[in-house]
């Protein structure tokens, strides 16, 4: 019996992606931005699809089904209803949105068929069947069908799909059953995005900056938010007071009434971050945690489920996730690593396999089905050599036994290393496939990486990558966290107590006070966003960590994504070398190739990235 290939696509909003499954198992998945180098690229994911087909060794016409991750007609209906219900206030927004919808989105079936035929160099009549899943159904499927669980309740939280902004599902075997939903405009994701906008960050990409800023502030606005902006019930369901928001009718997220509530206008991007922004970040983060926890408790009470799966953009709030895991009612939780719209491509494909084809699903309640999220392109030695030689790069090609201890020593000497190896990660996090790594014991590492490598705000925290077998030695965490989606406290034994004088510090002043023996990865509230590194899914990174552990008795490294601000994570050897040469990184490893910055020929572009990249 021949294999069944299903291609999932997400596109035309943000974070376009493609995912290919064969008989329900993932062959490949990747975001379009990595190929085009346009951050959050929303366009048709032609290159991502080509990669997936290449990985499987098939062509477009070999695919059985193509499925899109949401239903454009239903979304269009929501837009029209919204504009009509707020008329005439929404006219400017309506005028701005309509040309795009009338050109591409409304006739999406035609657009998709045209693009796929072009990609496959075939007639439209030769294309596979084209199907459409619902947005939140795609999210829920990405969370449940690839989780380790035979049975679990699923919570999806994002900005908005077609109508749903929050939805609950029951997953069992190869079936997902919808339980209930909260509809637009009442959205926890859009509430969080409103504060992202108001504090001067970019909506749909700056939300994680707001989360990183929160520990520097005090949650002084929590009551103001709960009394005015959101009517939160005991069961976690909610409604927003839309008189404070502008996203239904205008081209901004908040309005003057919102600004008056918080004592002044929104912060302008790139201006100084004040205590107000820090306190706003702390407050909306706290409200988010309250809402998510109440919803989780209600779902457990209603269903009796032992396990919870999460997806949607809000599921990338790893602080909230950590609280639900530690203090919530579930035995365990699992979060889809590509929780945002990119993961919708994977979810949509699995909906067709399980619901439409009645395809089976095999789980063991222990291991998920994501292969560590290493689902993107990998290198070939010949390809690396060719791309490096084109730059006249100076490198050594070393066997593993020589490379790993050498890199461990380089790291122990406080050097910053760019690491590109194996298959690229699917989702927003770098998990040791395309990462920048450093020594977490170094007190200067956070500021060096932020200001000289990443060219971004100094307050942004870095994540620890820790040997899975040693996670409890450093963090209050007793289980795997392979996708960097859980925040946990640093254990008491690793902490450094603050002096009375230090306790009095406010805001960014807290930044330079070492909180633990791992200052580069310990946030100001003694927390850390953990990635556990496993020999089974990433033997290369695990080996480097093991060598570093043997050399220093420290089983942790700093891990941040291999990119600079405003640019997607690197994908190719060419991307990696260019980023390496245009920043102040010390060493680069691409699979078994080792490069030292001091050995390289002078870079013929500008001196460094700061002159070239566009600020968020």
Alpha helices in 178-274 (DSSP H): 188-198, 207-213, 222-224, 256-261
Burial 467-492 (b: 16+ CB within 10 A, else e): bbebbeebbbbeebbbbbbbbbbbee
Residue linked to tokens 């009375």: 500
Mean pLDDT by 10 residues, the chain (616 residues): 93 93 98 96 96 97 96 67 61 65 70 93 93 95 98 94 90 98 92 95 87 92 98 97 86 91 93 93 97 98 97 94 96 97 97 97 94 97 97 98 98 97 97 97 82 72 93 95 96 86 71 82 91 97 98 97 92 97 96 98 67 36
How is residue 568 annotated by DSSP? P
C-alpha angle with apex 373: 370 to 374, nearest 5 degrees? Answer: 120
The answer to whether residues 26 and 349 touch, using CB atoms and an 8 Å cutoff, is no
DSSP 254-315: B-HHHHHHTTSPPPPTTSPP-HHHHHHHHHHHHHHHHHHHHHHHHHHHHH--SEEEEESGGG
- Please say whether the beta carbons of 270 and 199 come within 8 A: no
User: Of all helices (H) and strands (E), which one includes residue 413?
Assistant: none
pLDDT, residue 615, reads: 30
The pLDDT value recorded for residue 81 is 64
Direct distance between the N- and C-terminal alpha carbons of the chain, in angstroms, rounded to an integer: 50
- Rounded to an integer, what distance in angstroms lies between the CA atom of residue 302 and that of residue 505? 44
Q: Assign residue 127 a region: left if phi > 0, alpha if psi is -120 to 50, beta otherwise?
A: beta
Kindly report the number of other CB atoms within 10 A of residue 358's CB atom: 9
Angle (CA) 416-536-568 rounded to 5° is 45
Helix (H, G, I), strand (E, B) or coil at 535: coil
Cis amide leading into 419 (omega within 30): no
- The two structure tokens encoding residue 148: 């380790």
How far is residue 158 CA from its own chain's centroid?
13
Q: From 313, 354, 3, 356, select the one nearest 145 (Cα to Cα).
A: 354
CB atoms within 10 A of CB 327: 11
**What is the rounded CA–CA span in Å between residue 528 and residue 487?**
5
DSSP category for residue 497:
P
Eight-class DSSP state of 356: I
Instruction: List all residues 6 or more positions away from 117 whose beta carbon is below 8 Å from its beta carbon.
Output: 60, 123, 124, 126, 127
Task: Quote the tokens at residue 101.
Answer: 């919808």
Peptide bond between residue 185 and the one before it cis (omega within 30 degrees of 0): yes
Residue 325 three-state SS: helix
The Cα–Cα gap between 26 and 602 comes to: 42
| pLDDT the model gives residue 514 | 77
Complete domains list, the chain, with CATH: 182-335 (3.30.420.40), 381-611 (3.90.870.20)
């Amino acid at each position: 019996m021949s294999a069944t290939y299903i291609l999932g696509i997400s596109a035309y909003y943000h974070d376009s992606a493609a995912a290919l499954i064969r008989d329900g198992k993932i062959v490949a998945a990747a975001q379009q931005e990595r190929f085009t180098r346009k951050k959050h690229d929303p366009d048709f994911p032609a290159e991502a699809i080509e990669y997936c087909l290449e990985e499987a060794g098939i062509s477009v016409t070999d695919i059985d089904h193509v499925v899109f991750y949401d239903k454009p007609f239903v979304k269009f209906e929501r837009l029209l209803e919204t504009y009509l219900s707020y008329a005439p206030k929404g006219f400017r927004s309506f005028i701005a949105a309509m040309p795009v919808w009338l050109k591409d989105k409304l006739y999406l079936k035609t657009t998709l068929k045209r693009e796929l035929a072009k990609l496959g160099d075939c007639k439209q009549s030769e294309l596979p069947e084209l199907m459409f899943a619902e947005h939140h159904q795609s999210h829920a499927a990405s969370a449940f069908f690839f989780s380790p669980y035979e049975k679990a309740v699923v919570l999806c939280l994002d900005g908005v799909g077609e109508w749903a902004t929050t939805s609950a599902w029951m997953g069992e075997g190869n079936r997902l059953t919808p339980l209930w939903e909260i509809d637009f405009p009442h959205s926890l994701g859009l509430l969080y995005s409103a504060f992202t906008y108001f504090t001067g960050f970019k909506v749909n990409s700056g939300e994680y900056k707001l989360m990183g800023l929160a520990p520097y502030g005090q949650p002084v606005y929590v009551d103001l938010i709960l009394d005015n902006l959101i009517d939160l019930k005991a069961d976690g369901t909610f409604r927003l007071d839309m008189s404070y928001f502008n996203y239904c009718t205008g081209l901004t997220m908040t309005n003057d009434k919102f600004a008056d509530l918080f004592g002044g206008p929104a912060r302008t991007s790139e201006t100084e971050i004040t205590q107000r922004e820090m306190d706003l970040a702390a407050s909306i983060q706290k409200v988010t945690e309250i809402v998510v926890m109440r919803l989780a408790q209600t779902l457990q009470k209603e269903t009796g489920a032992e396990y919870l799966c999460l997806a949607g953009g809000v599921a990338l709030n790893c602080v909230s996730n950590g609280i639900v895991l530690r203090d919530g009612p579930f035995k365990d939780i699992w979060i889809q690593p590509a929780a945002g719209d990119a993961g919708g491509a994977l979810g949509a494909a699995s909906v067709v396999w399980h619901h439409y084809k009645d395809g089976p699903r095999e789980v063991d309640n222990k291991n998920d089905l994501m292969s560590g999220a290493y689902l993107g392109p990998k290198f070939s030695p010949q390809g690396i050599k060719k791309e490096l030689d084109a730059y006249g790069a100076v490198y050594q090609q070393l066997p593993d036994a020589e490379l790993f201890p050498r890199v461990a020593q380089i790291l122990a000497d406080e050097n910053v290393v760019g690491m590109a190896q194996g298959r690229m990660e699917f989702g927003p996090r770098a998990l040791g496939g395309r990462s920048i790594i450093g020594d977490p014991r170094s007190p200067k590492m956070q500021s060096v990486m932020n200001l000289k490598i990443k060219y971004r705000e100094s307050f942004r925290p870095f994540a620890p990558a820790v040997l899975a077998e040693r996670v409890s030695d450093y963090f209050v965490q007793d289980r795997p966290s392979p996708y960097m989606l859980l925040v946990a406290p640093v254990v008491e034994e690793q902490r450094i107590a603050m002096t009375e004088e230090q306790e009095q510090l406010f805001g960014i002043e807290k930044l330079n006070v070492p909180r633990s023996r791992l200052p580069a990865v310990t946030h100001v509230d003694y927390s850390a966003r953990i990635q556990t590194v496993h020999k089974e899914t990433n033997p290369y990174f695990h080996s480097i960590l093991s060598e570093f552990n043997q050399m220093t008795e420290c089983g942790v490294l700093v891990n941040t994504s291999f990119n600079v601000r405003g640019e997607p994570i690197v994908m190719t050897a060419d991307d990696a070398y260019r980023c390496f040469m245009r920043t102040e990184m010390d060493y680069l490893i691409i699979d078994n190739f080792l490069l030292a910055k001091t050995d390289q020929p002078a870079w013929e572009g500008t001196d460094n990235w700061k002159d070239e990249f566009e600020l968020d």
